[in-house]
Structure 1
Amino acid sequence: MNVTPDHRDDVYQTGLRATNRALTRRQALLGGAAVAMSAALAACGSSNSSGTTSAGETAGAAASPSRGGRIRAAFAGGGAQETLDPHRANLFLEGSRSKMIFEKLADYGDDMAAVPRLAEEWSHNDELTEWTVKLRQATFHDGSPVTADDVLYSYARIVDPDEGFRARANLEMLDIAKSAAVDERTVRLVLSRPYAEFPNSMAAFGAFIVPSGAEEFADPIGSGPFRFEEWTPGSSLGLVSFDDYWEGRPYIDELEYLITNEETARINALLGGQVEYAHDISPASGQSHQDRDGVIFINLPNSGMNGFVMKVDRAPFDDPDVRRALFLLTNRQELVDAAIGGAGTIGNDLFGQGYEYYADHIPQRELDLDEATRLIEKAGASGAEITIDTADVGTGMVASASVFADQMRAAGLNVTVNNRDGGTYWSDILTEGHLATFRSGGMPIESHISQRLLSTSSTNATRWQRPEFDARYQEAISTADAGIRAEIYHELQETLHEEGGLAVWGFADWIVATGSKVHGVQPSPANSLDWARFDKVWVA
């Protein structure tokens, strides 16, 4: 599965109150099995009150970290064309491997707020156009220190307009020509405009620091917790622990990534003892193997957002009443149960639940079919022909379209489902159609707004274009006071909740599985610092 900032990066609340309408045929067929699957997942290993399982809790919480041993980790991969160049990383496999070999100045915590990594600290001028970053004492695998020149080289490489590297969009405001090293461990980064959220750019997927002059990555040198040993593209990557890692030597001696594209093959490799860690496991596998000895299933809450995008610039969704009707007719719990096997929580039509700046003061929207039907009639849209575009490009995408079609029909709409070509789906829905299934991995709420909801955003699938909205966003990122920024972000989310074009029905847990001797795997959301991180994991 690809990790992109737009959607796939990428895969909380209580259930909705019971609806007073009769179950549809699809609910009757899917609902019971989905709820049973969700309960089975919660029973996998031990779990806390939220149903989230952590390796520490399930595989001997009292066990102290021990050193030595090897972990073999199975991920889906990208074939023989995959790369170890961290600036070209795009897959989840490549994201995990890159952060084990390399480091960024910052990374995302579980709430998608930037936390320092190679940067020991940072500060900015009053205008938010200059950021001074003090580097911690860290060493590359060849023994050379990480310096300000390495940062400048890495960022200059990333923003090269001829390359199209992954993090270029996150660093597009950086003026490399004016940026400079203050001393060996201090770098001043000059921006072309005020940007209070620049730490998000330092933490962006792919914004890794490489040695100055590095161009070839077949035998990569980084400053991360593991050193390169051997690599067979499309098959495996072998790493060994780095004794001089700034945060301390990893507990394990060896880490091996194995590419296993089929999910069933990954779980079978774990069951057969060929690997100790299997990434991206389905709820069905969790249910099937919940009673197997020697296997622990770990939920990673809030790893993916699921929803529908309505194009607000074309009928019938150019009418705010029709958009509000869709918000109200959405049975979120049914979608969570049927589309993602109950492995997740319902949404409230906003991105970023649990993240920094999330507007959790907005009451949970509940199902109100009568009001939805009234709004549709008021808008003159009863019986309107609506097509839901979807594609098999992520867990729950096609299933959610089928379930939602039934929910919309119950409110008097005439709905069909159109299965598009998965290879072009994400680019197609940016300009085509009226309503489409959508999903996203983790990113800061500010990044979600800037990349998807401004008039100039390149991935604005809802076609939301409001000059006053754009102006308020610019106010937020030009304001040094975090409290004022939070107020503005909340205001923007209130507007989107009332009349936006993104209907967020749920947040999916991802599931990983480990052998029972593996400890320390954290239940952190995808794309965060502690997701798929092996330097703090041990075998006992």
Structure 2
Amino acid sequence: MRNNFLKIGFLVIFAGLLSACENSATETKNKEEGKHVHFLYNFSTNSLDPHVDSSYVPLRAGITETLVRLDEKNLTIKPWLAESWEGKDGQHWTIKLREDVKFQNGKKMDAKAVKASLDRALKESVAVKNALKIDNIQANEYSLHITTTEPFPEFVSELVNPNVSIIDVTEGDIVNKPIGTGPFTLESFIPGSKLELKRYNDYWDGASKLDSVTFSFNEDANARSLALKSGQVDIVYRPEVETLETLKARDGIKVESTATFRVHQMTMNMQRKSLQDVNVRRAVDALIDRQKIVDTILLGHAEVAQGPFLPFLPFAPKYENSQVEKGADVAIKHLKKAGYKLKDGKMQKNGEPLKFTLLTYSARADLPLIAQVFQSDAKKIGIDVEIKQIDIPEEYMASHRDWDLATYSNLTAPRGDAGYYLNATYHPTGALNFSGASDPKLTAIIDRLNQTVSQQERATLSEQAANYINERVINSFVLHPSTIVAYNQDKVKYWVTTRSEYYMITNKLDVK
């Protein structure tokens, strides 16, 4: 199945690559005078406004930074643009800023400028407003005094969010040329295609040894692999899984596969009548052949998911029902409890066949294949599944309710804590609550979590929430994919594949 899927449109891709070769040759000639890296990413964007861009490109490309960042080794928050912070009551916070930071236009990054950036983020993004719960911000030289609407002990961890990047809001064209504090400034931007970046010589944490970076996009995994093989690019994010062995066999190419804080899930639209029955949701869950998907689609570069969090995380539950049987027979049993029966080859209830519209998107090459596997298995028990390809899942699912299921990939612990995912995905005000979940018991657990300081108590509440989600089957969890990056190790130095997937183009990146 996978090979057939990849062959579709190959000639079109190859033709595009031949054309790109000419552009690449010109680009290489232009970069000969200095150190240059070409990075190829899997998600495109048409806007570089860091406060609303769901692809987080400004931060990933090294243009912008946040007040704090994740220490991925210790799962703690550490200073970045902020030097220190204090908020003993969880509601009144003082954040001390670094005094040696300048925006890429030479202006000082003081408290007044940071307040203006935070105010804009709150205004432009409902998701940021709901996540930060800020009531008031006062600026005093290099100190911010922030009051939240309620005690919120994990407030500072939310400042890791790339949508809270600090920019100079006095600049005019934030969509096409944001001015941040990062190690690279933007020279040009072609929406949906690429960014050209140059070194920011006055970067506060030490100027990069690179002179320039090209950060380009291609949502076709096979095309990304071919671009690395041909030498057009130096680093490829998420190459095609089936090409990994040939990439590894090539002299000079290194392939890294790293476990990250991500889950591929089957998001369920709880506002659809059929899915409001927990037995139907359990049937959907039973039909997902997780091990087959890991083995045949991800070729082992993933771990079967029991819930949203990887097992090694301190707040991941030990699921008591992890050995529950799956498969078509189990799904049929659940459907019978919901009043469905197989008649004339169709699973139906009161003469109405059970049908699902399943959304998927190609920027993550494995998701359409997961959708195809589910469609095939559902058909065997009389359920018709219509697969619908979409471009930007967050935008589509937020504005359309004409779907039942969606293959979706989500970071579940990018702040080193369960609070981000639980709030974003299951709280009624959550920015990623595409399922429309609004369960009073679950909301109450999350609200208690938000006001709890003790890490042990937070872990207990997080486990309670995850167990409740599992019991009620509010979405299904398929697998935890590894993040795969391939690069030219004869050229590239100090590339790091991070678990959070936030920090990519840094001032440490270099070439030999």
TM-score, normalised on structure 2? 0.78
- Shift of residue 188 of structure 1? 0.8
Contact 2:65 2:81 survives alignment (8 Å): yes
Which of 368, 373, 377 is residue 398 of structure 1 equivalent to?
Answer: 368
- Shift of residue 377 of structure 1? 3.9
SS in 2 for 1:452: helix
Contact 1:103 1:224 survives alignment (8 Å): yes
2:146 aligned residue:
189
Change (3 A) 1:92 1:179: closer
Contact 1:113 1:356 survives alignment (8 Å): no
1:249-290 deviations in whole A, cap 9, x for unaligned?
334343232445554444333333333212231112324433
Structure 1: distance between partners of 2:436 and 2:232 = 47
1:69 aligned residue:
35
Contact 2:268 2:406 survives alignment (8 Å): yes
SS in 1 for 2:40: strand
2:508 aligned residue:
536
Name the stretch that deviates more: 353-362 or 128-137.
353-362
TM-score, normalised on structure 1? 0.74
Q: Is 2:245 the counterpart of 1:281?
A: no
1:294 aligned residue:
252
Taking only the aligned residue pairs, the percentage that are identical comes to: 21
Which of 429, 432, 439 is residue 409 of structure 2 equivalent to?
Answer: 439
Q: Is 2:93 the counterpart of 1:131?
A: yes
- Shift of residue 495 of structure 1? 1.0
Q: What is the correspondence of 1:120-269 to structure 2 with a 5 Å cutoff? A: 120-126=83-89, 128-140=90-102, 141-160=104-123, 163-164=124-125, 167-171=128-132, 173-175=133-135, 178-181=136-139, 183-211=140-168, 213-217=170-174, 220-228=178-186, 230-234=187-191, 236-260=194-218, 262-269=220-227
Contact 2:130 2:430 survives alignment (8 Å): no
Structure 2: distance between partners of 1:358 and 1:220 = 37
- Structure 1 residue runs without a partner (length 5+): 1-28, 35-67
Structure 2: distance between partners of 1:333 and 1:463 = 28
Structure 2: distance between partners of 1:268 and 1:165 = 39
1:337 aligned residue:
295
Which of 63, 85, 91 is residue 55 of structure 2 equivalent to?
Answer: 91
Structure 2: distance between partners of 1:249 and 1:506 = 39
- Runs of 4 or more, structure 1, over 6 Å off, are none
Contact 1:324 1:498 survives alignment (8 Å): no
1:389 aligned residue:
357
Which of 504, 509, 518 is residue 477 of structure 2 equivalent to?
Answer: 504
Which of 417, 426, 431 is residue 385 of structure 2 equivalent to?
Answer: 417
Change (3 A) 1:495 1:419: same
Structure 1: distance between partners of 2:180 and 2:2 = 48
Contact 1:328 1:367 survives alignment (8 Å): no
Change (3 A) 1:337 1:194: same
1:152-196 deviations in whole A, cap 9, x for unaligned?
010111122xx448744433x212xx3212x42221111122222
Q: Is 2:321 the counterpart of 1:353?
A: no
AA aligned to 2:214 is E
- Structure 2 residue runs without a partner (length 5+): 7-33, 348-352
1:101 aligned residue:
63
Contact 1:328 1:365 survives alignment (8 Å): no
Structure 2: distance between partners of 1:416 and 1:195 = 45
Change (3 A) 1:301 1:429: farther
Structure 2: distance between partners of 1:449 and 1:202 = 16
Contact 1:431 1:461 survives alignment (8 Å): no
Structure 2: distance between partners of 1:513 and 1:409 = 37
Structure 2: distance between partners of 1:325 and 1:433 = 17
Structure 1: distance between partners of 2:225 and 2:406 = 31
Contact 1:464 1:500 survives alignment (8 Å): no
Contact 1:89 1:95 survives alignment (8 Å): no
Greater relative contact order structure (CA < 8 Å, 6+ sep): 1
AA aligned to 2:474 is G
- Shift of residue 118 of structure 1? 0.9
